[in-house]
Amino acid sequence: MRHDLPGFIANDAAPLFPDTSAMTADELSDYEPAPERLAFYALHTEEGLKAFVYDVYWIGYPGLFIAANHVWNLLIAPRAYRCTLMGQMSGAGGSGKQALVKTLKQFIGEALETWEFPIPSLAESGSLEAQFNQVSFSWARQEQQVQLLVDKYAAILNGDAPPRVTPDGIVIRGPWKIRPDGPLPRRRSSSR
């Protein structure tokens, strides 16, 4: 993804965040981000686009249509064509603005699925410290999965092919040994 201007989006609105430093501890613990703030993100930079996608995850379904409308308004023409491409790249399908909504909805669903990890009981862990460490490790792994999804969907919204990266992927490098009984037999091609 380019850092200056993305392929599809051109605008420079500024993100809107409340001043959490002025909040009391009770206000901060009760704070829920307003979905309306999704409409103020600058999507023309990679940093702004990724922050927007992460905030779509954090706000979730209540901000779905605000987020889709914001992206739609900032797309370079032809908008419907670009949204259809987003739906195809994400695998969500659809055409026009519907594809954009389906893509964002699929992102939220995939990001929420990262929370499906077991929380061990105290008896299984042996000690409170061990349980805390196991849960902290699960949270860190979940956040890593969300960041991979944010990168993937930011690329899709930008019109780039999504990166094909798996967090647990292993690259196996050669040289390969030749089988003692010879190479594998070739298949016959049936060209009838």
Q: For residue 174, what are the contacts with CB-CB under 8 A and spacing of at least 6? A: none
The whole-angstrom separation of Cα 58 and Cα 174 is 42
118 burial level (CB within 10 Å; 0-12, 13-18, 19+)? exposed
Tens of pLDDT, residues 118-165: 787 888 888 888 888 888 888 888 899 999 999 999 999 998 887 765
For residue 75, the cross-strand partners are: 9
The whole-angstrom separation of Cα 3 and Cα 45 is 6
To the question of pTM greater than 0.75 for the whole model, the response is no
Tens of pLDDT, residues 44-88: 888 999 999 999 998 889 899 999 999 999 999 899 999 999 999
How long, in residues, is the chain? 192
The whole-angstrom separation of Cα 8 and Cα 14 is 18
